Amino acid sequence: MSQQNQKLIDELKTYALDLMSDWSTSRSRQKSFILNYMANGFSNAAEAAKEAGFSEKSAHTTAHKMLGGSEKFLHIPPVVEKLKLAFDERQTELSILSNLEIEQFWADVVRGKIKDVKLVGVGEGEQVVKEVPADLSIRLNAADKAARSKGMYQTNIDITQRNIDIKVGDWDADED
């Protein structure tokens, strides 16, 4: 599991436990099922049921009943639905690059920390793929983007405020 997904699961665990806080202790395996299902990205309910302590033979059927909200498990689908929604929203938030991440990338390119991949001839018409330092044009482009993002190319513009007096002639409302 990626570090980003682990962070996401850790954040949502508190929310999940809060959603299930009024459940009786007899539902501890159901709570465990939901936490395990969330931990695997809502992708394998049968595995989550096994990890929650349900038998291997009945894990698939039990997971299906819990997610389907059969009579005994009506309380589970609303919680799973809320968690899936929160999971998807937070996953989207975490996938978006921050300004700092973008600036760090540009800085790494300018400093030559980011490598490029090129085909390099090794003789007799053969080529191999090798990591090479980024071309100067790529590094200059990254430096330009970093400078623009910091407003280094802004031109100072002097805008003076002018007052315009508008005079309205005397008129009497009774004349209408």
Percent of the chain with pLDDT over 90: 44
Contact between residue 130 and residue 117 where contact means Cβ atoms under 8 Å apart? yes
Torsions phi, psi of 167, nearest 5? Answer: -105, 130
Q: DSSP class of residue 168?
A: -
Token pair for residue 7?
């962070």
Kindly report, residue by residue over 69-79, the tens digit of the pLDDT: 888 999 999 99
Beta bridge partners of 127: 121
Mean pLDDT of 152-165: 70
Residue for token digits 């999940």? 16
Instruction: Domain ranges for the chain, please list them.
Output: 3-95, 100-149
Kindly report, residue by residue over 98-143, the tens digit of the pLDDT: 788 888 888 898 898 988 888 888 889 899 999 888 888 888 998 8
Any residues with CB less than 8 A from the CB of 134 and at least 6 apart, and which? Answer: 109, 112, 114, 115, 116, 142
Closest CA to 148 of 97, 102, 96: 102
Contact between residue 131 and residue 116 where contact means Cβ atoms under 8 Å apart? yes
Mean pLDDT of 141-163: 77
pTM: 0.58
